Every structure is written in structure tokens, then in C-alpha cells.
Amino acid sequence: MKLIENQIFHIYNRGNNRQPIFFKQENYHFFLKKMRTHLLPTCDFLAYCLMPNHFHFLIRTDARTVASVAKNEKDIAVTAFSKGLRTMLSSYAQAIQKQEKMTGSLFQQKTKGKQVSSEWSWEDYTLTCFRYILQNPVQARLVQFGLRKGTLCNRMLIDQELALDLNSLEELIGVPVPDAEVAKIW
């Protein structure tokens, strides 16, 4: 995926053959720890959700994200974010394979990403994506809506990019994102 500096991207992947990627509660915590270690130094998170068989990230890129840290076998620059993501997913998959005594791919081969921000308001789907990510586990009846305390998401950046306060956020989460809008964030 090609990431552009100072933009907002929806990043997502799921289990190979739609299989689960989280088997125990501790797996979610382990994955979050890996996100903090491998991705947080390279980007800012606006939102994320971890579902039993997939994940979504809404990130804001900057110079750290797109910095070239190596070259791959085709002599193409590898960015800090892509290296961090690959390391995170690979090490997580190895731990789960050991835990579950399984072999083969845990994740689909390619993590996908789509730019949702735009300088043109009619092409900017940042708020749509933000709402979708927050609603995903609520609509699946995995959790009730509530903001978690933590340091992964950059609250100041959320306020800056989306101009939301807690009251408007709760109202937005209660209104499902129409399918036509969801299609624009994939």
C-alpha cells in the first residue's frame, strides 16, 4: 500500500479464510501491546477495533510513517510503517500458531489500506470511517459503546481532525453508517 504523508488511512486485514485471529482475551491485549511497540512510533491512531477475525485501524500519517528504513528484494523503499506492520503481524502470527498448535497463514496475505482523507469535503470519508470502526464491535454485539482510557489513540488529533466532543461522538455512534457510505471506505 502506498501511504502519503499527512493523510488519514483506513488500514485493515482479516484472518486467512476468515478464520479467527483472536482466540483468548489475552490475545487482544498482546496485539495491542504489539501495536504500541511496532506502529505507534510510526503514526498516530484516531481509531481502531479488534474483532474476532479482523482488525481496523484509522491512522494519520506523517514523516515518521513514510520514512524509508530499508530496501526490499526488488530495491523498493520499505517505509517505517510497513516494516512495523509486517513485524507486528508476523510476530503475532507466530505466537498464535504456537499457542493454538497450528500451521499456515493466520492473516490474509496483504493488509489493505485506503486513504479516506481529502482536501475536498465531498471526497473526505474520515468521519464515516471513524464511525464505522467504532460501531463495528457494537453492532456485532461484542461490546457496548464506551470510550476506553488508554494512550493508543491521539485524542487531540481526533478533536483537530473531526471536531468532535464526547456528546456528539455518542450521538454519531448511535446512528448506523449507511451501506453506500461504508462502500467508500474500502
Helix (H, G, I), strand (E, B) or coil at 163: coil
> Given pLDDT bands bounded at 50, 70 and 90, which one contains residue 150?
low
Tell me the pLDDT of the chain averaged across its residues: 88
Burial 59-97 (b: 16+ CB within 10 A, else e): bbbeebbbeeeeeeeeeeeebbbbbbbeebbeebbeebe
CATH 3.30.70.1290 fits 8-185, yes or no: yes
Q: Tell me the whole-structure pTM to 2 decimals.
A: 0.89
pLDDT at residue number 166: 61
Using only C-alpha atoms, the chain has a radius of gyration, in whole angstroms, of 16
Which stretch of 24-33, 131-140, 146-155 has the lowest confidence by average pLDDT?
146-155
